[in-house]
A and B are shown apart, each in its own frame.
Chain A
């Protein structure tokens, strides 16, 4: 606590930014790995989704949407830009921020894991709809995925991704949340 208070506000902001960006980078780096215990039917946890939830939980919907779009673009770069990941992650950011505003759910690990579970399902469903609209717009027999393929695959992905992401969510949420709490407290004490 004290070490943060001793720093000048601008330096603290720089460090805060570095830590935040560093955590996103860490998420990006861990995304292509498939470590033991992080894989179910070839599907791993959606680290970027966990990050967006951790970010949005105590922030406004706008901030959540912004984070979702940013990380969605990053993921687009890592895989494929069509369909884009920004839509699903932005929606996740907005919804997470809205849930916390109403204070229905207490803030602890279990609720975070539950939110991540629900959000993972929502995000994969959004992606499946994106694929479906792509398919409907170009009704070509040779087009990439058929409707039945999309929705069969969606079931598998949504469940695996939701289970793994919610189990790994505290590993990312806890350190990030603590850091942001400390920064906030230092700012309030100084002002």
Chain B
């Protein structure tokens, strides 16, 4: 008995630990290593990119469906215009350009692109990216060009509400917001409406998507104002598309945008 107790005193702890290890190993084996895998997932979760969720997959499918319908409608529209002898410019091929630099000053919202005169970029060319209008080329060197973003306070664009065709002009507010001022006193507009360039714009061709209405302030005098959320995520864009501009005023140095007299609805 004494011998057994002495042996237990010497090896009990060791035995206990060994048993614990064995049983744990057995448990892990029986559960197919679920605990280890779960722990691994928890630890590695912050370093992994999240896969598409169910909602995202559905969203993507919807986007694709809408894009396909859009292409279909665009081609229908084109053939109808051809039937009517409508003389519209065919969509021109753009130049893909990388964004190589941001503004060198905090007060200006500009980016520098890695394409210039040699690639056919001109002052006044339209720059767009994923999501919509990005800006306008204001300076060109041989291999770079500088773009004044639509989010710059000095870039003013004539815009229209796509749904109800109410006009206004838009001033950039640094970041991805802009303020739209309407020409009418009581415009038909609600949050979520799509904003695109209007035919009054002297610098941009009409019909380019710009953003969507975020909120509206009807109490503003003399005309209501709306906050526009720009649809192109300019701060995260890496590549943009430069398209030549057909507007004659665009090649001059930023003429002031003169809005038409406010008309009563």
Contacts and interface: CB of A to CB of B under 8 A. Distances in A.
Nearest to B112: A32
Interface string B71-104: 0000000000000000000000000000011111
A32 B235 contact: no
Contact of B257 (A44, A142, A149, A161): A142
Interface in A36-54: 42-44, 46
A34 B105 contact: no
Contacts of A33: 101-102
A18 B110 CA distance: 30
B154 interface: yes
Contacts of B2: none
A30 B105 CA distance: 12
A75 B104 contact: yes
A131 B154 CA distance: 11
B174 interface: yes
B102 A32 contact: yes
Interface string B134-174: 00000000000000000001101000000000000101011
Interface of A: 28, 31-34, 42-44, 46, 75, 78-80, 85, 124, 127, 131, 140, 142, 144-145, 149, 153, 157, 160-161
Given A42-B102, A43-B106, 18 more contacts: A32-B102, A32-B104, A34-B102, A42-B175, A42-B235, A75-B105, A78-B104, A79-B103, A79-B104, A79-B107, A85-B105, A127-B107, A140-B256, A144-B153, A144-B154, A149-B173, A153-B174, A161-B106
21 contacts: A32-B100, A32-B102, A32-B103, A32-B104, A32-B112, A42-B174, A42-B175, A43-B106, A46-B106, A75-B104, A75-B105, A78-B104, A79-B108, A79-B110, A80-B108, A142-B156, A142-B256, A142-B259, A144-B154, A145-B154, A157-B106
